[in-house]
Amino acid sequence: MNEALEVWIDQDLCTGDGICVQYAPEVFELDIDGLAYVKSADDELLQAPRATTPVPLPLLQDVVDSAKECPGDCIHVRRVSDSVEVYGPDAE
């Protein structure tokens, strides 16, 4: 069974290149400050730094690819149940 995952961005390291938005526009968006933020399930931009949003299972691969390609190494995907990072710079 797949565990519920959530994703957050460390805006302090975001370069604003928009690669994540190209991979998963349903989850990521560039705000007017030029940095990427996550969106809620109902498409609302979450402008609080390090806000988290659930990763929809059909978009998991796109989100994982975003984390792998992110030049700032600042996309973090973690388990909801115990907050352990499974994809991203702090994953084991």
- Smallest distance, ligand SF4 to C-beta of residue 54, A: 17
- Smallest distance, ligand SF4 to C-beta of residue 79, A: 20
**List of residues contacting ligand SF4 (CB under 6 A):** 9, 14-20, 36, 66, 70-72, 74-75
Closer by beta carbon to ligand SF4, 18 or else 54? 18
- Smallest distance, ligand SF4 to C-beta of residue 84, A: 20
Residues in the chain, how many? 92
Question: Could you tell me the CA-to-CA distances from 67 to 1, 3, 28, 85 in Å, in that order?
Answer: 22, 18, 11, 11
- Check if the beta carbon of residue 76 is closer than 8 Å to that of residue 88: yes
